[in-house]
Structure 1
Amino acid sequence: MTTHSIPTPNPDLYTEEEISQLVHNFYAKARKDPGLGPIFEEHVIDWDAHFVQMTNFWSAQLRGTSRFRGAPMPKHIALPELNSDLFKRWLHLFKETTHELGNPALKHHADTVATFIAGRLWLGYQMGNYPERHPTELFADTH
């Protein structure tokens, strides 16, 4: 497995507006996606609160703010019948969104964090739901 270091958050490189745009644009895509959309629609009860939470999360990751409060792993482990293709699709849509924002520094940083998160959530999901199986890495089949 190749590990990449995650860039240090930098409030000078990304604005809160860019982060809000990233979150809103990404979820606009994800909600329309045939695989991801139904999952989000079933499990996100309050979209306004979700947008605030996700904006706070990405602001913490990219700008170093400390507004995020939450534990993403248990919420994802509790979702039924996820698979590696869904995590890969999430990441694909996320990277498509960061590309469209036109800030190369934001794209690199957010994509690096998102790739790390997708891999960790997938491993945690497998360990939480299939403890008898050996977990597979999300990108084990790529070079």
Structure 2
Amino acid sequence: MTVDARRADIISAIQAETGIDDQMIQTLVHGFYGRVRQDPLLAPIFTAHVADWEIHLKTMCEFWSSVALMSGRYHGRPMAKHSPLEIDARHFDRWLHLFEESAADLCPPAAATHFIERARRIAESLELGVAAAGGLILPKGSRLHRPELDPSMRDGAGTSL
């Protein structure tokens, strides 16, 4: 069996189990990023780093096709894009919350579960990578906290996480 034939079999099996197809991926990606672009915590980060939303959304559809269907369409380097960002656990938690909410609202249950399981692994991996890029090695179960990024922690207000 060729690599392409094997990949087609894997995609078909995932689609049969979850109902995920290219249209569902596009609906989820566009719906999710519509929420991100309105979110007070995440919107400023994306606005500062996404120059062309059409290209970004196309890339994210390819990414989620590769993640959810094992299609192999995405060939980027997500860690390189995220590691220089000034983000921490709050941002990853909010991203994940919006993604889970979008998947639950826009996808049938089996597909939502499939997407959410992968999103949780991606968020954890990216958070560990962002921490490592900043010279921090997070012990198992620890989170990346950057009090300087939290407005409630500036000027002595609030308490340390």
Please give the per-residue CA displacement for 1:73-99, whole angstroms capped at 9, x wherever unaligned.
Answer: 0110011x2110100000000000000
Partner of 1:70: 76
TM-score, structure 2 as length reference: 0.75
Q: Indicate which of 120, 124, 136 corresponds to 1:115.
A: 120
TM-score, structure 1 as length reference: 0.84
Count of matched residue positions in the alignment of Structure 1 and Structure 2: 130
Structure (1/2) with the larger helix percentage: 2
Question: Shift in Å at residue 39 of structure 1?
Answer: 0.4
Higher-Rg structure is 2
In 2, the alpha carbon distance for the partners of 1:138 and 1:35 equals 21
1:134 aligns with 2:130: no
1:93 aligns with 2:98: yes
Moved over 2 A (4+): 136-139
1:11 aligns with 2:1: no
Cα 1:127/1:61, change in 2 over 3 Å = same
Q: Which ranges in structure 1 are unaligned for 5 or more consecutive residues?
A: 1-7
Q: Which ranges in structure 2 are unaligned for 5 or more consecutive residues?
A: 1-9, 144-161
What is the aligned-residue identity percentage? 37
How large is the RMSD of aligned CA atoms in angstroms?
1.8
Higher relative contact order (CA 8 A, sep 6+): 1
For residue 43 of structure 1, what is the amino acid of its counterpart?
H
